């Protein structure tokens, strides 16, 4: 109980929580924008009658490599 009353511990705990939340926000936004980019690339490749070669390396962040073969 004495540990929870220590101001330094509480400050470090809040800082850790905020850091984790910031990292989660960055991962989620990166994943969102990569999925939007993948959708745009595949639709443009389909417009030119290309064959989509998509390899997703990380499913959490949607890191990918893309190629459109005509």
Q: What is the pLDDT of residue 9?
A: 84
Higher local confidence (pLDDT), 13 or 61: 13
* Residue pLDDT, tens place only, 38-67: 899 999 999 999 999 999 887 777 778 999
Tell me which residue of 65, 64, 66 sits closest to 31, measured CA to CA. Answer: 64
pLDDT of 1 higher than 70 = no
Q: How many domains does the chain have?
A: 1
- Mean pLDDT of the 23-44 span: 91
- Is 1 within the bounds of a domain? no
- Is 65 within the bounds of a domain? yes
Which helix (H) or strand (E) covers residue 69, if one does?
Answer: strand 63-69
Q: What is the pLDDT of residue 25?
A: 96
Q: What is the pLDDT of residue 70?
A: 84
- Is 2 within the bounds of a domain? no
Q: What is the pLDDT of residue 26?
A: 93
């Amino acid at each position: 109980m004495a540990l929870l009353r220590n101001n330094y511990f509480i400050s470090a705990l809040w800082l850790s929580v905020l850091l984790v939340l910031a990292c989660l926000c960055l991962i989620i936004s990166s994943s969102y924008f990569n999925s939007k980019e993948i959708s745009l690339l595949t639709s443009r490749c389909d417009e030119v009658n290309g064959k989509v070669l998509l390899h997703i390396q990380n499913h959490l962040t949607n890191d990918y490599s893309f190629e459109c073969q005509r």
